[in-house]
């Protein structure tokens, strides 16, 4: 499932990038979490769309002309949360987007 989440983040970055843009996948860890980042230099996400990107079927203003169902980021969030993690997006319209998935290294105690 985590592979699918990373795939969806990467697929989004590639779909919204143009020739000459950069897409990077980065990973890091600290003693508690693993962080997987997908960053692009594409058009970014408008501020008005950012609060809604995790909603099922939501298609932002800039994404309506790009093929897709609007389910990818909702699925990424569901997968991260099922693994006791989280996902966030930072974006600047016209400058690109960074999506970060944070997953705990150790399973939470029950």
In this prediction, residue 16 carries a pLDDT of 84
In this prediction, residue 13 carries a pLDDT of 92
Its pTM stands at 0.84
Kindly report the CATH number that applies to the domain delimited by 2-104: 3.30.565.10
In this prediction, residue 67 carries a pLDDT of 60
In this prediction, residue 106 carries a pLDDT of 82
In this prediction, residue 110 carries a pLDDT of 59
In this prediction, residue 93 carries a pLDDT of 82
Q: What angle do CA 25, 30, 32 make, to 5 degrees?
A: 115
What average pLDDT values come out for the chain (110 residues) when binned by 10 residues?
Answer: 95 89 95 96 87 78 61 92 96 91 82
How distant, in Å, are the alpha carbons of 1, 55, 78, 110 from that of 40?
Answer: 23, 21, 22, 37
In this prediction, residue 49 carries a pLDDT of 86
Per-domain residue ranges of the chain: 2-104
């Amino acid at each position: 499932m985590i592979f699918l989440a990373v795939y969806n983040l990467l697929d989004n970055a590639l779909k919204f990038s143009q020739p000459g843009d950069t897409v990077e996948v980065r990973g890091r860890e600290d003693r508690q979490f693993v962080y997987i980042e997908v960053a692009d230099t594409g058009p970014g996400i408008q501020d008005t769309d950012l609060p809604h990107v995790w909603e099922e079927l939501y298609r932002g203003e800039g994404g309506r002309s790009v093929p897709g169902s609007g389910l990818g980021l909702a699925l990424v969030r569901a997968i991260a949360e099922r693994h006791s993690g989280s996902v966030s997006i930072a974006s600047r319209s016209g400058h690109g987007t960074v999506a970060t998935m944070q997953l705990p290294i150790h399973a939470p105690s029950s």
